[in-house]
Amino acid sequence: MAVEADKLPIFFVENPDGTIDGVAGADSIAPPPANPRLWCHHCNTQLEFAAGASYVQCYLCRTMNAVLTGSQLGGRTMNMLCTVCGTSNLAPWGTAYVRCGQCNTVSDVTHIYHTNVTGR
């Protein structure tokens, strides 16, 4: 839809289209921000993920990686099985209390760490 100069003579004179186009063009040339990446903490595969994601599943080893601010390495995660509704909830490794996404029950999960330390 081109604006006809003879229909809007004042607009045409006071606003040189070239200048406005030049500014807008410079803005749109800037490359879109690349998707953030992290490395799988289990197999060290580089994973690309959508900005804003909290967890990224490795497509190679299926390990869940927690997205940690300021870290390029995926965080270890653990699964909390809600004792009330049975929903499995993902949380970053080291979290002491996990809130169930289904029923909002907060569970103390510190026993998971003790079990794993002695089990391995």
Residue 3 or 85: the one with the smaller Cβ distance to Zn ion is: 85
Residues facing residue 75 across a β-bridge: 66
Site string for Zn ion, 73-92 (x = CB under 5 A): ---------x-xx-x-----
Q: Which of 3, 5, 20, 43 binds Zn ion (CB under 5 A)?
A: 43
Residue 15 or 102: the one with the smaller Cβ distance to Zn ion is: 102
Residue 12 or 76: the one with the smaller Cβ distance to Zn ion is: 76
Residue 40 or 66: the one with the smaller Cβ distance to Zn ion is: 40
∠ Cα 80 84 89 (to 5°): 25
Q: Which of 71, 102, 110, 116 binds Zn ion (CB under 5 A)?
A: 102
Can you tell me the distance from the alpha carbon of 14 to that of 5, in angstroms, rounded to the nearest whole number? 12
Q: Contact region for Zn ion (CB under 5 A) — 16-24, 28-36, 50-58, 108-116? A: 50-58
Binding residues vs Zn ion (CB under 5 A): 40, 42-43, 45, 58, 60-61, 63, 82, 84-85, 87, 100, 102-103, 105
